[in-house]
Structure 1
Amino acid sequence: MSLIVPCYNEEPTIEIFFNTVEKVFADHPTEFADVHHEYLFVNDGSNDGTLNEFRKLNVAHPDTVHYLSFSRNFGKEAGLAAGLQHATGDFVAVMDVDLQDPPELLPKMLTTLESGNYDCVGTMREDRAGEPPIRSFFSRSFYALINRISKVQIIPNARDYRLMTRQMVDAILELPEYNRFSKGIFNWVGFRTTYLKFENQPRSAGETHWSFLQLFNYSIEAIVDFSEVPLKIATFVGGLFAFLSVIGIIIVIVRKLLFGNSVGGWASLVTLMLFIGGIQLFCLGIIGNYIGKIYLETKHRPQYIVQEQK
């Protein structure tokens, strides 16, 4: 079993995480009797002592603890991709190092996969207790929106924390795209998946590195990656205003023929022009988002650069 653990400035949590997970393995000898486990930590360009913590663990447990260290911060999605590409286990788990993903679920997750009825055991929070109400509101709104406009259904409150078979991991690795939204990719590849629920857990140490703005941008990335509906909206809005403009031209011509050159309505005309201009910029912004994604994909740059590996 390979445990993939992406980290960014998580120095205070790493030793706590390692000791907690090791205790879970030690307390469940029956479930893990025939299972060798390895840790694959991914240092996503941290600027604290995260890498040193990895080195210490690797020296103390060279057969169990491995790590990758990026040359700079490439983002969590790059960390997940790197972990999946370097994991060697028949079962592969993705976990957060802050213990908001309870390791105590691992025995049940493994037993469920070994039964042969599922290819993936995911996790989801029963509630969002302890989270700011505004963040919970926008989270619910995001899931409601993306599940309405995307063919790939994403489970609300689902975590990246999951245990997968090698077959599912290999299928994920066949998707080489640069722009990644893992929750969507996990569901896009299919496979039989079940979910375990757990109560929201506080961080073991440190503070979250996700700001509201980062989460908002991440949600935009997800919508662009898994839905073409925004482009269709832009097309519909553009077509609608083109149709209305034709009607407006006809009205102006008829008015000229019947009533002469009557000048008036400058305020309404300026307002209408500003409104249409705003709509045009809005639609161009949507199109620009998709073009930007295409631009990044066509460069074929690597998702990450590894500077150190053990």
Structure 2
Amino acid sequence: MKTMCLIVPCYNEEPTVPLFFDTVEKVFADNRDTFSDINHEYLFINDGSSDGTLAEFRKLHERFPETVHYISFSRNFGKEAGLAAGLQHATGDYIAVMDVDLQDPPQLLPKMLTTLESGDYDCVGTMREDRKGEPPIRSFFSRSFYALINRISKVQIIPNARDYRLMTRQMVDAILELPEYNRFSKGIFNWVGFRTTYLKFENAPRAAGETHWSFWQLFNYSIEAIVDFSDVPLKIATFLGSLLSFISVISIFIVIIRKIIWGNSVGGWASMVTIMLFIGGVQLFCLGIIGNYIGKIYLETKHRPQYIVQEKK
């Protein structure tokens, strides 16, 4: 009999954990024919929660010791670390990644499993049909991010795609061969390849609690994604540096010719200061881009663990 493992990263999700578990269990109970040859298990990841999330995991494990397992970090390491831990510790033939807030509809699991068992695909992902209920400014920047990264990166990322997906053991093993510290899972899922199809669903509100992603956190996450999967920013910095150098050489010739013909140099300190500030700003901008890449290299060369496990059941 095959096994399906559900990886569920959590951070301060005390009220949503029991709701999630009961909802998913109902899906399995209502689709016994589809899951007749499948054993399922849960692998919850506690990403340094400060509320009673870990206590909820312990309660579920006590009730269902063979079905519910959890890993608890020593502190908050971020969602990417939670996903990495889940993939590294998950066992089974099929591995699903889900959010605990029920914005990833568990009702899709039967169709996802049927699609994988047909043998036509190695991964069944999900994507939202729209972004209803989301602030317009966040939707605008989300669309802009996908348009930008798909233009500058060789790895194409499906707009509105979620981390919620069901994968074969072979695909997960391929993902685990990428030991990088700086991770952007949506890009990694696509980088490894394999045959993938997507199911669409309508956007739904959280079952309980509030989102822990602020606009600034999402912005930083998008910057990390661009740096992880594209070197175009470095090429832009190189182009700007070359362009300004060329303009500077032309300007030197203009100043010399003006001095020879009219006997005076360029007048006006204001224009000179403006040009200096502009060039200095461009230089700092380029240094910032280079510094971002160097910072990523610095983190990779330290070989620090992505997370530290404090408790595991």
Question: Could you state the TM-score of these two structures normalised by the residue count of structure 1?
Answer: 0.99
How far apart are residue 259 of structure 1 and its match?
A: 1.7
SS in 1 for 2:7: strand
1:24 correspondence with 2:27:
yes
**How far apart, CA to CA, are the structure 2 residues paired with 1:111 and 1:216?**
36
Q: 1:126 to 1:263 in 2, by over 3 A?
A: closer
Deviation at 1:266, TM superposition (A): 1.3
Q: Distance in 1 between matches of 2:32 and 2:56?
A: 27
Equivalent residue number for residue 116 of structure 1 = 119
Q: Which residue of 1 aligns with 2:80?
A: 77
Contact 2:255 2:266 in 1 (8 A): no
1:33 to 2:42 alignment = no
Distance 1:31 1:226 in 2: 38
Give the counterpart of 2:253 among 238, 250, 254: 250
Give the match for residue 165 of structure 1.
Answer: 168
Matches within 5 A, 1:120-135: 120-135=123-138
What letter corresponds to residue 37 of structure 2 in structure 1? D
Aligned pair 1:94/2:110, yes or no? no
Q: Secondary structure at the match of 2:199?
A: strand
1:265, CA displacement in angstroms? Answer: 2.2
Answer yes or no: is 1:146 the counterpart of 2:149.
yes
Structure 1 SS opposite 2:44: strand
Q: Which runs of 5+ in 2 are unaligned?
A: none
Instruction: Tell me if the contact between 2:12 and 2:49 (Cα under 8 Å) persists in the aligned partners.
Output: yes
Cα deviations by residue, 1:44-90 (Å, 9 ceiling, x for unpaired): 00000000000000000000000000000000000000000000010
Q: CA deviation at 1:258?
A: 1.5
Opposite residue 83 of structure 1, the aligned amino acid is: G
1:263 shift after superposition: 5.5
State the partner residue of 1:282. 285
SS for the counterpart of 1:122 is strand
CA distance in 2, matches of 1:264, 1:161: 63
- Aligned AA (2:133): G
Q: 1:56 aligns with which of 47, 51, 59?
A: 59
Tell me the distance in 2 between the aligned counterparts of 1:89 and 1:256.
79
**Paired position in structure 1 for 2:206:** 203
Q: Write the deviation string for residues 237-269 of structure 1: whole angstroms up to 9, x where unpaired.
A: 000000000001111111111222345121111
1:304 and 2:307 equivalent? Answer: yes
Aligned residues: CA RMSD: 0.6
Amino acid at match of 1:241: L
2:36 maps to a residue whose letter is A
Q: Is the 8 A contact 2:47 2:76 kept in 1?
A: yes
In structure 1, the residue corresponding to 2:218 is in which secondary structure? Answer: helix
The alpha-carbon deviation at position 273 of structure 1 amounts to 0.5
Paired position in structure 2 for 1:14: 17
Distance 2:118 2:43 in 1: 25
Amino acid corresponding to residue 295 of structure 2 in structure 1: G
Percent pairwise identity: 85
| C-alpha distance in structure 2 between counterparts of 1:89 and 1:227, whole Å | 33
TM-score (norm 2): 0.98
Q: Structure 1's 262 and 117: CA in aligned 2 closer, same or farther, altered over 3 A?
A: closer
2-side partners of 1:112 and 1:297: how far apart? 37
